[in-house]
Amino acid sequence: MEGVREGKCGCEGRCTLGTCLNASEVQVCEPHTCSVGAKRCENRFRQRRLYLKTTKLGLGVFAARLIPAGGVVCQY
């Protein structure tokens, strides 16, 4: 991380929670604040959800992939 460039996070290559200036300031990257773009940024809000009908309780929301222990599911 080289610091802020033109109001962006300054990440190079990949933007990760451990290297992103925005993440260190508890900010989510947006198109105008991220240096690397959506495909290489791990500090963006993404909606990857799966709605399924359960056999006993009706509809449920499930993650489309494994969520690691300590991972952020939603911040508000």
Domain-by-domain residue ranges, the chain? 1-66
Sign of CA dihedral 40, 42, 44, 46: positive
Would you state the structure tokens that stand for residue 22, as one six-digit string? Answer: 């925005």
Q: How confident is the model at residue 67 (pLDDT cuts 50, 70, 90)?
A: confident
pLDDT in tens, 12-43: 999 988 889 998 888 889 889 999 988 899 88
Q: Which residues of 2-22 are buried (b: 16+ CB within 10 A; e: fewer)?
A: eeeeeebbbbeeebeeebbbb
- Exposure on the CB side of residue 10, measured as CA atoms within 13 A: 13
